[in-house]
Amino acid sequence: MVQFADSPQEAAFRDEVRAFIKESYEPLRVAIRDEGKASGGYAETPSKRKWLSTLSDKGWIAPAWPVEYGGAGMGVMEQFIYNEEMAESGATRPSGITVGFIGPTIITLGTDAQKQEHLPPILKAETVWCQGYSEPGSGSDLASLQTRGVKDGDDWVINGQKIWTSGAHVSDYMVMLARTDPDAPKHKGITYFIVDMHAPGVEVRPLVNMAKTHEFNEVYFEDVRVPSRNVLGEVNRGWYGAVTTLDFERSSIGSAVGMGKGVQTLIRHAQESAESGVSQLGHRAGLRIELADRYLESQIARMISYRIVTMQAQGLIPNYEASMGKLYAMELNQRIASTAMHVFGLHGQLWTDQEGAPRGGLYNYDYMRTVANTIEGGTSEIQRNIIAGRGLGLPRS
């Protein structure tokens, strides 16, 4: 049964989070073009650094981490409430990869020395991390990766290439999978490494997408030496380490809330611009139905998030349910962006530096950027296979 109402303790915590955000958070009023959407949202500004410092002082950079590792030790529901309220306020969050994936991986698999070296800087928002998984010939079939790691004394020598590496251009470290035993079966003989992105032989090349943002990168490794102390987990068992990476954001409540707020903003802008003739709302009655559909769908995405967090609170592990959430949310993102184009017509296609662009060109940006949503983080085809096999019990084709 999905639990919607807060307990008294949860309600008190929700009030605490809201009060903290209201008192401490100042919206980052930076224009899209000035922030350089070309940075893909990775741009650092003084106001962003100040806010992250405030979160660090509160102990809320990584609130779900255990207290002994510098987190706030929040339970599942507290973390959910925290994420929900942060999303509702639009407050800037620390790097999801660094805090949501990498930190928990180090907590789970790392040595004491690795924890002491890397966790404190993450908690102070001083380091940024990326993940070196996909390769040009190994995307959905990641276990076929070919980047090699060869033992040489106390080091491993890495040669190969990674692609679609989010944030590599601003990262200090990478957690990376490399094949260290080419004769082992496909899912074995892979080792998980911590790689210094400033080490000799590491080259990052930008991949600018059609939305003109630089989020992804190609990363090349040429005789990069990685000390053995930077092996994360066991040698030749990196695949199992990578798939056990903890994900405290699995409910995706931030995405669900963000989509709902986006649709509400779209409706408001459509209403405000209808009289000026910019909006198509008064000319196409079908748009009213389309906007209503998008709003209802955003609420369904939120219900899926509630279902997932209810499972987590009961000690269950969401599996195909998480794939349902990812699949539904990413395809909904694309439908919302398409609806924005329908609402604003040709005006919606204006770019960020063009006069009259609705919301500073954000709708055009979203329309371009969301094309990748159903590819990144596991394609829609992969999600459907998981839902079919693990959720519906259908046989493999």
Catalytic residue positions? 249
Rounded Cα distance between 64 and 104, Å, is: 9
* Number of H-type helices and E-type strands within the chain: 12, 7
Rounded Cα distance between 261 and 327, Å, is: 19
| Helix axes 253-274 and 320-344, enclosed angle (nearest 10) | 10
Could you give phi then psi for residue 379, rounded to 5 degrees?
Answer: -65, 160
Cα dist. 31→91, 337, 359 in Å? 16, 20, 10
Q: Which of 228, 257, 253 is closest to 100 using CA atoms?
A: 253
Rounded Cα distance between 283 and 261, Å, is: 24
Characterize 328-351 residue by residue with b for buried, 16 or more Cβ atoms within 10 angstroms of its Cβ, and e for exposed: bbbbbbbbbbebbbbbbeebbbbe
Q: What is the C-alpha end-to-end distance of the chain, expressed in Å?
A: 33
- The H-or-E segment that residue 296 falls in is helix 286-313
Q: Residue 362, Cα to own-chain centre: how many angstroms? A: 19
Rounded Cα distance between 346 and 356, Å, is: 11
Ramachandran assignment for 127, one of left (phi > 0), alpha (psi -120 to 50 degrees), beta (any other): beta
Contact assessment for residue 103 and residue 119, using Cβ atoms and an 8 Å cutoff: yes
- In the Cβ-directed half-sphere of 55, how many Cα atoms lie within 13 Å? 28
Rounded Cα distance between 308 and 338, Å, is: 27
